[in-house]
Chains A and B, each alone.
Chain A
């Protein structure tokens, strides 16, 4: 692995830096072009470049700093991340229905971007310390327990897209660390259930005619945590117990699986109830677009369609920089943030999107290479975490715009406008540089 010949003995991985800067340049052009008609253009561009400057400064700082310090001080990192998130409920301000921002005099900060880095660092420490035991169910559970405060606080804001980004990262890290696939899939089914129930309830809220059905209305009332909820839970427990007993009659099976099944189902259900109560009415719309995109052609579905028209109309070479009509005339919403890809696709065409995808692929490969060179497992897990974070962003943002996934407010790192996101991504690059510069072969 170490023999990858391309890596030269340098303190700083300039290649990674060049690729990152290349993406930022493409992003900056797209942001300038897409905000042309917006009244706040000058403010947006100014903020963008200030964030870029701060980001590069942070990258240099974290690149020079020895990343192993964070491993030693993991308790402080963990505490700080939680405090930063919890502080939102005291000092945070509400924007677009979510309490996700610290409003300061000159700018706003979205702390969950930074808390996520803290979470990945803490997880890396945990995995490094429990590498041999992670295949045991208990330690996997313990690791998930660490993430629990983060998840809870993000749900409370609510920041669903933040959770959507984080969950794959956590499971990827556990998986790479060597957790049993069976255990991971148990927890994945828990996550699946806890999102399935709110989705079903939302579907009923959006189609009131459904609740005419007796069973559906009973199911809907379960979300109210009344007596029937208790009966439902007892019923699940009893049914799994009974199934086990009956099957046990024919062949001896451990009751562990059935108990586990009941626990996962009930836990998923209760989490679903909790999530359901966090969903704001405007967020039903998003779920609706996911469940039935044709229902809201002028709303979120319309936006997505316009974004796709922008990309498709770009063709091979695009309409030229500053010449896209779709994004510039305002057909594409959030065009300088979550939908930035449509601007690139329209103005730079297939060449532009391929360039962006290629740069991402190279950066990903670069992170993988750094992980191979990492001098300790902590550095290695940092690489795994950030790799999966980039993967997560890439998958959800591209997937949404290309039409594979529902609308989610997830930015495209290094391309989208967004100060906190930009700075946090540069911090990540800095940490990766730090791992690289302290690689195994240098000392």
Chain B
């Protein structure tokens, strides 16, 4: 077959050519649309690609006490950026990195590596961060010799009170890989600092501001042309705590003045569960975690992260006698007027239990027994009321369970009693009853549990969940988050029980073991405690609440001093400072009045 004959059959090739032209026209329309009609849109996107950013961390939100004292703020710090405008010879780089390493107190090899990387990639890089004023002054001289270095200022966390409230506020540190994966979408960079513990960690996303930056334009080879824009960062949100700075200050100072190493003082508002003061000794200097790199070598941070306020457990000792008293008053046996003779010891048949007062207290009823913390009275009374009743009362007031305070890692303590023993299929002895009654034995409580307990006593049975963040406010004053008191439980006791209990607790301060607590113009109800410690000196407890006559109690305090020996001295003095700070107008206490009286005489 010749070609000519078959030619018309091949008109299908024309169809193919037509298809090509069709596609050609469609593509041409699309190209016109992209390059001419939507040109501006794409150009803008391309321009955005051309700018590079150097992050400037924004000021974090402040942490403020309820009486407007700033507990965590920010201060400027400087970073050094190298812009590879002109490159240096390797000899010059050696020299530069030698000086820079000395001035910024960092590794010479690291600095050299960064400069070399900046030159080879022709991109600006951060050489050193967290520089102090001294470093900057010295570097500014260097800058004249070797152009291309620029400093930018960033906001860095600053804690004016150093180690105070450190467990509550928490410290900051370099973002780690697990945090990075959670945070990276919120504008964090790899060298961002983030909260590692406490409020700094828990409220990270509120505290973190929007980072500003240095926007630079690069040319078609990636070299820096100019700094296009410097965008100011946006500060984070402020957190207002429930803490009262005066009380906190009093607690911190009083604790630090004590010669003992460890202790915790917690003050709560009995009618809301607000934490008014939370002091734990020892704290750790929060600034040491974010501080200038030049100081870093000297102060290796000594982290005392163990938060004894909620994590430490101790025998409640005599403070537990409040529970025993409630059990006695509620059950009515023995009657609160019934007296027992205290010869200084108690014979439990096979074993003799001692009273802390070797001479004995003679005849004691409930009021005097509690006021003088007479062990023998409580031994006798406990045998009458029965251990089951005491165990029930302790559980009622939330011992043995977490207070649900916002601190992480809270310990739930331990309550023992015949019921628990039975559940463990073990025996209960008379001696156990006696130990239970005076808060020794297996009972363990945290200072926070004690504080919640004494506030519940102050508020006639209201058990709140303690909290410390009152609200979070934006810079313009808008409230983002506000916490409200949450009642966990309400303990209902007879009216008579409360009256008699208050009478007895008042007696502790007016004539009993807590006489040093007296503050004129205030009615103070408290209880001392001395927890026997087989490993060393006894732990000292003091719990109390204070009110003006005919007013509701404003503050409830629990203080524990490890190895503080007697609750009536060490722990009490801390509690007294706190209560005095809570009622600043009634600052004269009994002793001072006496002295003044002597002088006027």
Contacts and interface: CB of A to CB of B under 8 A. Distances in A.
Interface in A276-330: 306, 308-316, 322-326, 328-329
Nearest to B222: A329
Contacts of A240: none
Contact of A176 (B1, B10, B50, B219): B10
Contacts of B31: 311, 345, 350, 353-354, 357, 402
Contacts of A316: 35-36, 39
A324 B219 CA distance: 9
Contacts of A331: 49
Interface string B105-137: 000000000000000000000000000000000
B50 A325 contact: yes
B16 A176 contact: yes
B41 A312 contact: yes
Interface string A398-426: 11001110000000000000000000000
B6 interface: yes
B226 interface: no
A329 B41 contact: no
A29 B542 CA distance: 86
A375 interface: yes
A362 to B, nearest CB: 11
A323 B42 contact: no
Which residue, of A175, A311, A315, A325, has the highest number of chain B Cβ atoms within 10 A? A325
A308 B34 CA distance: 8
Contacts of A312: 34-35, 38-39, 41-43, 45-46
Interface string A347-389: 0011001100100110011001001001111001000100110
A178 B12 contact: yes
Contact of A329 (B7, B27, B218): B218
B30 A402 contact: yes
A157 B219 CA distance: 41
Contacts of B16: 172, 175-176, 384, 387-388, 391
Given A308-B42, A309-B45, A323-B220, A353 B35 contact: yes
Which secondary structure characterizes the binding site on chain A? helix
A376 B31 CA distance: 39
B114 to A, nearest CB: 21
B28 interface: yes
Nearest to B37: A312
Contact of A357 (B9, B27, B42, B43): B27
A395 interface: yes
A37 interface: yes
A412 B306 CA distance: 67
A131 interface: yes
A440 interface: yes
B487 interface: no
Contacts of B19: 391
Contacts of A404: 26, 30
A36 interface: yes
Which residue, of A371, A376, A398, has the highest number of chain B Cβ atoms within 10 A? A398
B17 interface: yes
A227 B205 CA distance: 55
Contacts of B17: 364-365, 368, 387
B217 to A, nearest CB: 10
A358 to B, nearest CB: 9
A325 B36 contact: no
B41 A364 contact: no
A90 to B, nearest CB: 38
Contact of A314 (B3, B35, B50, B219): B35
A37 B221 contact: yes
Contacts of B303: none
Contact of B3 (A132, A353, A380, A388): A380
B297 to A, nearest CB: 39
A338 to B, nearest CB: 16
A377 B6 contact: yes
Nearest to B26: A404
B45 A313 contact: yes
Interface in B206-220: 218-220
A311 B7 contact: no
Given A315-B39, A368-B13, A376 B3 contact: yes
B591 to A, nearest CB: 72
Given A328-B220, A380-B10, A357 B24 contact: yes
A131 B6 contact: yes
Contact of A345 (B12, B35, B50, B221): B35
A311 B28 contact: no
B358 to A, nearest CB: 76
A388 B36 CA distance: 30
Nearest to B38: A312
A372 to B, nearest CB: 9
A306 to B, nearest CB: 8
A391 to B, nearest CB: 5
Which residue, of B21, B26, B49, has the highest number of chain A Cβ atoms within 10 A? B49
Nearest to A320: B220
Contacts of B20: 361, 364, 391, 394
A246 interface: no
The 10 closest A-B pairs by CB, nearest first: A312-B42, A313-B46, A350-B35, A313-B43, A313-B42, A312-B34, A315-B39, A309-B45, A176-B12, A402-B30
Given A176-B13, A329-B222, A349-B35, 12 more contacts: A37-B222, A175-B16, A176-B10, A311-B42, A312-B45, A315-B39, A329-B220, A350-B32, A350-B35, A354-B28, A354-B31, A377-B6
